[in-house]
């Protein structure tokens, strides 16, 4: 089945005030399937917002194409694209009621008032704002405004909904609640969402697929699990979640296991997989991959912080080198100054080859 959205070789440069050029999109290719929840993730300035705005039509591409359901959108102005956006600032029209905000797309499309009223009521119901239509946006709370923005963007039944950091203005609890609601809504509506965020936790929670971007290019596309467990490079590894990176040289092979060391002498075990002694590579271990054991990397706890049910430790390896981040479930008796050994399962190590 052909994907819903196909972006090919999208390129966009911005002129800087100093007369230089910034490449916001550097030949981006992306496919999004119908009913897929795709997140664009990356630090600010990585091009994720530019990509979103290129899809909605607020930025024109210098080159490349954008197709939606087989139709070419590349040269169409925003108001001719069957794509709607939830804006970061919500961009609710303050001079009209909530109902007219939500019905705006129908109003400008010339839908009759009676028909409009029915659809507005239905849509408000969908986002949990039934009966709020007569209010002004200024009379609503932040979370309610968010829902109005959402209702306004889905009423015309776009095939693709774009969301530009829509949750960034909400406080933590409300944000988590909205994450779940958005995901449910997407399932019920059966349309594709493209969601922009710089919050990796949000991306991991909600997405079917995550697109990690940097400097106008896509670094990796994959499921949250993929991206987390098998980052393709250092940037992705460090951007998604807390990470321990070890630049190591393979020392010797022992059966299925390869034993590697950092320059300081910290020992990391990896699957042998036909490795040879002297090979240099980067080993990636997530904090939760470590356990406290009788043997392993010896070190001293320099910091211990409880985060919810987990105990987060910084451990200074005896051999030297940067502290290792560790998250463990049961940290009874462990505190700052505790000396311990960190063990890990070689199979949990993810290896970046070109170290």
Partner 1 sequence: MALRRQSVILGALLAPVTLFLGVFFVLPLLIIAVFSFLTPGLYGGVEWAFYHWNYGRIFGWADGIMEVYEPIYLRILLRSLIFAALTVIVTLILCYPVAFWVSGLPDRWRLVFLFLITLPFFSSLIVRLYAWLLILKPTGLFNTVLMNLGLIGQPLEILYTPTAVVLGMVYVMIPFMFLPLYASVDNLDRAQVEASLDLGANRIQTLVKVILPQTLPGILGGAVIVFIPSVGNFIVPDVLGGAKGLMVGNLVEQQFLSSRNWPFGSALSMIIMAVVLTVLLIAVARARKVGGHA
Partner 2 sequence: MRNPWGWVALTAFSLLFFTFIYAPLFVIIGYSFNSNPVNMMIWEGFTFDWYTGLFGLSDRATGVGNRAAYIESTDQMLAALRTSLTVALFTTTISTVIGTATAIALARYRFRGRGAYNGFLMMPMMMPDIVLGIGLLIFFVTLGMQLSLLTIIIGHCTFLTSYVFIIVQARMAGLDPALEEASADLGASEWTTLRKVLLPQLAPGIMGGALLAFVISMDDLVITYFISGVGDTTLPVFIFGMIRRGVKPEINAIATLIILASVIIAALGLWLRSRKID
Minimum distance from residue 92 beta carbon to partner 2 (Å): 8
Looking up tokens 């200074």, which residue turns up? Answer: 316
Q: Find which of partner 2, partner 1, none residue 75 binds, CB within 5 to 8 Å per kind.
A: partner 1
CB 82 within 8 A of CB 158: yes
Among 9, 71, 75, 347, binds partner 1 (CB under 8 A): 75
**Residue 193 touches partner 2, criterion: CB under 8 A:** no
Strands of the sheet containing 257-262, edge to edge, are: 267-271, 257-262, 244-254, 280-285, 350-352
Q: Find which of partner 1, partner 2, none residue 58 binds, CB within 5 to 8 Å per kind.
A: partner 2
Structure tokens at 205: 């929670």
H or E element that contains 120: helix 113-126
Phi first, then psi: give them for residue 245, nearest 5 degrees: -110, 130
Q: For residue 20, what are the β-bridge partners?
A: none
Q: How many residues sit close enough to partner 1 to count as binding (CB under 8 A)?
A: 3
Compute CA 38 distance to the chain's CA centroid, rounded to the nearest angstrom: 8
| Of 51 and 297, CB closest to partner 1 | 51
Q: Find which of partner 1, partner 2, none residue 217 binds, CB within 5 to 8 Å per kind.
A: none
CB 318 within 8 A of CB 300: yes
Q: Find which of partner 2, partner 1, none residue 88 binds, CB within 5 to 8 Å per kind.
A: partner 2
Give the separation between CA 97 and CA 136, rounded to whole angstroms: 5
**Residue 71 touches partner 1, criterion: CB under 8 A:** no
| Of 75 and 347, CB closest to partner 1 | 75
| Of 52 and 285, CB closest to partner 2 | 52
Give the contact letters, 47-66, x = binds to partner 1 (CB under 8 A), - = no.
-------------x------
| Of 9 and 75, CB closest to partner 1 | 75
**Residue 246 touches partner 2, criterion: CB under 8 A:** no
Task: Look up residue 87 and give its DSSP letter.
Answer: -
Among 1, 16, 21, 95, binds partner 2 (CB under 8 A): 95
Q: How many residues sit close enough to partner 2 to count as binding (CB under 8 A)?
A: 29
CB 282 within 8 A of CB 246: yes
Phi first, then psi: give them for residue 66, nearest 5 degrees: -130, 125
CB 227 within 8 A of CB 42: no
Using CB atoms within 10 Å of the CB of residue 269, give its burial: 0 to 12 exposed, 13 to 18 middle, 19+ buried. buried
**Which region among 77-85, 255-263, 287-295, 307-315 touches partner 2 (by CB under 8 A)?**
77-85
**Residue 130 touches partner 2, criterion: CB under 8 A:** no
| Of 45 and 78, CB closest to partner 1 | 78
> E strands within the chain?
5-15, 21-32, 37-41, 63-68, 71-72, 83-86, 160-164, 192-197, 209-214, 217-222, 244-254, 257-262, 267-271, 280-285, 290-293, 297-307, 310-317, 324-328, 339-344, 350-352
| Of 36 and 59, CB closest to partner 1 | 59
| Of 64 and 298, CB closest to partner 1 | 64
Q: Sign of the C-alpha dihedral, residues 218, 220, 222, 225?
A: negative
**Residue 93 touches partner 2, criterion: CB under 8 A:** yes
**Residue 78 touches partner 2, criterion: CB under 8 A:** yes
Among 9, 43, 72, 77, binds partner 1 (CB under 8 A): 77
| Of 75 and 277, CB closest to partner 1 | 75
Which positions lie near partner 2, rule CB under 8 A? 56-58, 77-80, 83-85, 87-89, 91-96, 104-105, 107-109, 137-138, 152-153, 156
Which positions lie near partner 1, rule CB under 8 A? 60, 75, 77
């Amino acid at each position: 089945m052909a994907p819903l959205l196909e972006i090919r070789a999208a390129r966009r440069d911005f002129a800087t005030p100093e007369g230089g050029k910034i490449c916001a999109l550097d030949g981006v290719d992306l496919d999004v399937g119908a009913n897929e929840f795709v997140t664009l993730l990356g630090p600010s300035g990585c091009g994720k917002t530019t990509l979103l705005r290129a899809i909605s039509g607020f930025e024109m591409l210098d080159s490349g194409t954008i197709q939606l359901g087989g139709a070419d959108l590349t040269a169409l102005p925003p108001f001719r694209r069957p794509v709607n956006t939830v804006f970061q600032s919500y961009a609710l029209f303050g001079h009209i009621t909530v109902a007219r905000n939500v019905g705006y797309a129908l109003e400008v499309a010339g839908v009759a008032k009676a028909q409009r009223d029915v659809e507005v009521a239905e849509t408000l119901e969908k986002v949990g704002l039934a009966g709020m239509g007569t209010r002004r946006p200024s009379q609503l709370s932040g979370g309610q405004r968010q829902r109005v923005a959402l209702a306004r963007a889905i009423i015309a039944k776009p095939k693709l909904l774009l969301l530009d950091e829509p949750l960034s203005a909400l406080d933590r609890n409300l944000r988590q609640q909205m994450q779940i609601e958005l995901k449910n809504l997407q399932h019920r509506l059966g349309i594709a969402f493209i969601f922009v965020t710089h919050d990796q936790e949000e991306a991991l929670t909600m997405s079917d697929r995550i697109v990690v971007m940097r400097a106008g290019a896509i670094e990796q596309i994959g499921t949250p699990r993929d991206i987390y467990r098998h980052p393709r490079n250092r940037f992705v590894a460090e951007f998604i979640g807390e990470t321990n990176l070890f630049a190591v040289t393979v020392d010797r092979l022992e059966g299925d296991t390869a034993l590697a060391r950092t320059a300081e002498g910290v020992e990391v075990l990896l699957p042998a997989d036909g490795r040879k002694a002297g090979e240099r590579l980067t080993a990636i271990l997530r904090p939760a991959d470590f356990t406290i054991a009788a043997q392993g990397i010896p070190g001293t706890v320099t910091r211990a912080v409880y985060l919810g049910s987990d105990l987060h430790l910084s451990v200074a390896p005896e051999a030297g080198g940067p502290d290792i981040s560790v998250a463990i479930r049961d940290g009874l008796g462990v505190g700052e100054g505790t000396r311990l050994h960190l063990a890990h399962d070689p199979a949990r190590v993810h290896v970046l080859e070109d170290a």
